Amino acid sequence: MFCRVELRPVADKETIVIMPPTVTSQNRDLDLKHLWHGNLQHRGLELRPPLEMASADGCYVIDSEGRRYLDGMAGLFCVNVGYGRREIVDAVAAQMSQLAYYPLTQSHGPAAQLAGRLAELLPPGLDRVFFTNSGSEAVETALKMARQCARQMHPGENRYKIVARHRGYHGFTMGALSASGQSARRAAFEPLVPGFLHVPPPDPYRCSFCCSQPECSLACADEIDRVIRMEGPETVAAVIVEPVIGGGGVFPAPDGYLERLRAICDRYGVLLILDEVITGFGRTGKLFGFEHGGIRADILTFAKGLTSAYLPLGATVASEQVFSAFEGDTESVKFTQVSTFGGHPSSCAAGLANLEILTRERLWENSASVGAYLLEQLRGNRCPWIAEVRGCGLLIGMELVSDENKTPLSEARMVQLLREFREAGLIIGRNVESAPGYGNVLILSPPLILSREDADTIVATVTRVLGRL
Ligand SMILES: Cc1ncc(COP(=O)(O)O)c(C=O)c1O
């Protein structure tokens, strides 16, 4: 049990007062003793315990000691409509009272209505929704759908390979992790699922393709064409990409990249899976990430902003064409997957209320305008460590280097920086373990309700903290 130690002024001297254990210290004690946190080394954790968050409102979170932070990460890229939306809470409470649970082996209103709402928001022909509990599961589902669909669409071929990109992240389950191009996250669990191939992402700052030419040739997109040809198109089921790589370090697709990708997939009869787990629902300044290229996906994956994380929910949306490959008279062509909790009525009720807020307030527009303002202000910052500020909407990355040879800022300094941001009242993210030696991108992904004043606070904090480097 931890006891809080406070310095109390007593007749102009400071005295140490041992406070009785509080709920906070009890929680911390239980946490350190019993919780297993992902991506955290537990040895010595008592010296740097995780933040214990107690409440939140709008763009701000408050920890159990009463300290307030601007949540520059919207949790984990997910609280799009901001914290404290009563409307969502009420919708969930009402749903729980009426029908706490029923599986989607049968049906219920909230799932049917949310599937219908998604179909309304998406372009025609993308209207078949499979619900899951998380982004990883949405991706896992998409990969399985793509493999089964490719076999059913191309009988006699053996299309099972999936092309993905280095630095992309698609989730922690074995299939989604196999699609992820982040070696440090994969290493401990290899061998992973066979048949996944990786190509370099678009990265104009460290481009290894066409950086010596006056203009971008989209050679990194053509690399996908080359890999499909070399592998044999009759072995390739799908290409999976994030419209903007998020957690891997924020890499927006250059102009024409998504369109080129669509053309390559069409050329070889390969399905295009767009992982919109982060980019969906306004994050990049459009309602969906694919709008940046004006392209059509065969399969889309969603989670995070679908409920703004008020409850867990993921969704895999298939095109009419993909769905029709599963239609038939026999049992053998059905999509063989069941999820107990996927499409939980309460999560779907949260999703419906969340989309009502998001569309009523047109939050992708605020994401676009405040995001552009924030990007411009950060780019105007003269801090020599900031080599590049990139992103779109309210998804922004700042690549930090220590010299003009583009040497990434060291791991130790990045860790220290994040601590200093936290002490300065700003929660900021970074690309942990996305590429060996390149964990040097600070990431901002705040709630989409961020105001210009909040953006100014972020810029002032970044200037102050990086100025001390
Ligand atoms: C693009 C993308 N896909 C999938 C996932 C996995 O989502 P989850 O953490 O909900 O399983 C993430 C998580 O950050 C992600 O960024």
Three-state secondary structure string covering the chain:
CCCCEEEEEECCEEEEEECCCCHHHHHHHHHHHHCCCCCCCCCCHHHCCCCCEEEEEECEEEECCCCEEEECCHHHHCCCCCECCHHHHHHHHHHHHHCCCCCCCCCCHHHHHHHHHHHHHCCCCEEEEEEECCHHHHHHHHHHHHHHHHHHHCCCCCCCEEEEEECCCCCCCHHHHHHCECHHHHHHHCCCCCCEEEECCCCHHHCCCCCCCCCCCCHHHHHHHHHHHHHCHHHEEEEEECCEECCCCCEECCCCHHHHHHHHHHHHCCEEEEECCCCCCCCCCCCCHHHHCCCCCCEEEECHHHCCCCCCCEEEEEEHHHHHCCCCCCHHHCCCCCCCCCCCHHHHHHHHHHHHHHHHCCHHHHHHHHHHHHHHHHHCCCCCCEEEEEEECCEEEEEEECCCCCCECCHHHHHHHHHHHHHCCEECEECCCCCCCCCCEEEECCCCCCCHHHHHHHHHHHHHHHHCC
Report d(CA 206, CA 391) in Å as an integer: 15
pLDDT at position 12 is 41
Taking CA atoms, 279 is separated from 2, 17, 151, 263, 445, in Å, by: 41, 49, 29, 21, 10
**Ligand 1 centroid, distance to 178 Cα (angstroms):** 13
**Ligand 1 centroid, distance to 139 Cα (angstroms):** 8
The tokens for 160 are 């099972």
Choice from 77, 244, 281, 304 to test ligand 1 binding pocket (greatest atom count within 8 A of CB)? 304
The tokens for 328 are 């038939």
Atom of ligand 1 nearest to the CA of 245: 1
* Inter-residue contact 167 to 248 (CB < 8 Å): yes
Report d(CA 305, CA 138) in Å as an integer: 13
The tokens for 97 are 């009272």
Nearest CA to ligand 1 atom 16: 278
The tokens for 360 are 């009523």
Taking CA atoms, 373 is separated from 270, 380, 391, in Å, by: 38, 11, 12
Report d(CA 268, CA 350) in Å as an integer: 39
Backbone angles phi, psi at 180, to 5 degrees: -70, 135
pLDDT at position 354 is 99
Q: What angle do CA 385, 388, 391 make, to 5 degrees?
A: 135
CA 274 to chain centre: 13
pLDDT at position 22 is 56
* Ranges of residues in the chain whose predicted pLDDT is under 50: 1-21
Report d(CA 173, CA 161) in Å as an integer: 17
CA 405 to chain centre: 30
**Ligand 1 centroid, distance to 302 Cα (angstroms):** 9
Nearest CA to ligand 1 atom 9: 135
Nearest CA to ligand 1 atom 8: 135
pLDDT at position 23 is 64
Nearest CA to ligand 1 atom 7: 135
pLDDT at position 13 is 42
**Ligand 1 centroid, distance to 168 Cα (angstroms):** 10
Atom of ligand 1 nearest to the CA of 77: 14
The tokens for 42 are 């537990």
- Looking at this protein, which amino acid is placed at residue 2? F
pLDDT at position 461 is 97
Nearest CA to ligand 1 atom 3: 170
Report d(CA 97, CA 153) in Å as an integer: 44
Pocket of ligand 1 (CB under 6 A): 134-136, 139, 169-171, 242, 246-247, 275, 277-278, 303
Atom of ligand 1 nearest to the CA of 139: 4
Choice from 131, 141, 278 to test ligand 1 binding pocket (greatest atom count within 8 A of CB)? 278
Closest CA to 240 of 170, 174, 309: 170
- Looking at this protein, which amino acid is placed at residue 433? E
- The strand order across the sheet containing 236-241 reads 126-132, 314-319, 299-302, 271-275, 236-241, 161-165, 196-199
- The strand order across the sheet containing 68-71 reads 53-57, 60-63, 68-71, 426-427
Choice from 39, 275, 277, 300 to test ligand 1 binding pocket (greatest atom count within 8 A of CB)? 277
Taking CA atoms, 117 is separated from 111, 112, 114, 129, in Å, by: 10, 9, 5, 10
**47 Cβ neighbours under 8 A, 6+ residues apart:** none
